[in-house]
Amino acid sequence: MAEVGRVSIRLPSAIKQGDVIRVRTLVIHPMELVQRDKQGKILPKNYHFIRTMTVNYGGKEVMRAETTQAVSQNPLFTFPLKVDRPGKLTVTFSDTMGKTYEGAAEIKFS
């Protein structure tokens, strides 16, 4: 199995100032499903899944998303980002066990 918590970020190969680019990010995570008993009640347990995703660009938070256990294993997220200056793009994932996983990429203009 791949390393849990590894985050990869994929950017377009050519970026120009003012472009709205498509950012793709993937985190390796098991995303444990909530289990129910025969009566349909949730089994009490501390389930392990990604709770939040935060995106920072050039030192400012530009997006925050909350997820649930319904997201698949090793989730891939895609989102648009308007790039107006070169800078560091950081994506941080936090899970229900209190762990944080982070990936970063430099946005450069071609």
Confidence (pLDDT) at 2: 64
Per residue in 45-61, pLDDT tens? 778 889 999 999 999 99
One DSSP character per residue, 71-83 reads SPSS-EEEEEEE-
State the pLDDT confidence band at 105, using cuts at 50, 70 and 90. Answer: very high
Q: Which residue has the higher pLDDT, 80 or 36?
A: 80
Pull the structure tokens for residue 5.
Answer: 């918590």
- The domain spans of the chain are 7-107
Confidence (pLDDT) at 4: 87
In contact, 29 and 35? CB cutoff 8 Å: no
* CA pair distance 47, 97, nearest whole angstrom: 8
State the pLDDT confidence band at 91, using cuts at 50, 70 and 90. Answer: very high
Is residue 92 pLDDT above 60, yes or no? yes
Q: Are strands 87-95 and 50-57 parallel, antiparallel or unpaired?
A: antiparallel
Beta strands per DSSP E along the chain: 7-10, 20-27, 50-57, 60-66, 76-82, 87-95, 100-107
- What is the pTM for the complete model shown? 0.87
* CA pair distance 73, 39, nearest whole angstrom: 26
| 7-107 homologous superfamily | Immunoglobulins (2.60.40.10)
